[in-house]
Amino acid sequence: MKKLSGKVAVVTGASKGIGASIARHLAAEGAAVVVNYASSKTGADKVVAEIESAGGKAVAVQGDVAKKADIERLFAETQAAFGTLDILVNNAGIYEGEALGQITEANFHRQFNLNVLGLILTTQEALKYFGPEGGSIVNTSSIVSTLSPAGTAVYNATKAAVDNLSRTFAKELGAKKIRINSVNPGPIETEGTHSAGMVEPFQAFAAVTPLGRIGQPDDIAPAVVFLASPDSRWITGETLYVTGGLR
């Protein structure tokens, strides 16, 4: 039997990149998956089609997780489609690079509203849908929460907040049998890094990564599946670095 058979998962920001890979891997292990997206309906529909063509179950649901009304609709549509909730992957996020002198109120609030407040609001709403058996929440963080590279101070701070929220909420929700952990990728090659022109700068990390390359989305998704599954039933409040050894 697949390790997630009969489970229902919501993955935010799942129309491309790491989120899309997570959705596909969860479905491959038997979960019915809600593929959330903010703007890329085409990408989300493609992920759903890939899951269904492999024999899995999935639906795409639009929603900006920085907006409470969208979050409420996301989970209402999840319930309508699949009836329950067992797994939440808080993957949606935004990256903006700026040195100290270029930080503005606008880019601060854009990043914190989605990366931090969005995670809080999504987790709050999800609590209404988990059953008495609890479940698993996995938050996508980043190596930058501790590596703290120059020129990305606000983004770094949002991911440090994600790590802290994971540890704090794990203590608050353990009695409800809900486990919460963070997965912290190193540099990952995605559609987003290509469009932002980041692949070449990221390649510099390959020289200092013990495994000798930058990561791919499919390097991250199996770690999320592990933390979502009963295999990690005694793990909560932890931060799992998936970085090829880069620290």
Residue 95, number of CB atoms within 10 A of its CB:
17
Phi and psi at residue 88, to the nearest 5°: -125, 125
The confidence score (pLDDT) of residue 1 equals 85
**Beta strand pairing status for 32-37 and 8-11?**
parallel
Q: Domain ranges in the chain?
A: 8-241
Residues 37, 95, 129, 155: which is the catalytic one?
155
Averaged pLDDT, 219-229? 98
Q: Strands 87-90, 58-62: parallel, antiparallel or unpaired by DSSP?
A: unpaired
Confidence of residue 222 (pLDDT cuts 50, 70, 90): very high
Report pTM: 0.96
User: CA 21 → CA 33, 207, 218, 222, distances in Å?
Assistant: 12, 25, 6, 9
Cα→Cα distances 237→167, 173, 193, Å: 4, 10, 29
Domain 8-241 -> CATH class = alpha beta
> Catalytic residue at 95?
no
What SS3 state is found at 181?
strand
DSSP lists the bridge partners of residue 25 as none
Pairing state between β 58-62 and 135-140:
unpaired
Over residues 120-174, the pLDDT tens digits come to 999 999 999 999 999 999 999 999 999 999 999 999 999 999 999 999 999 999 9
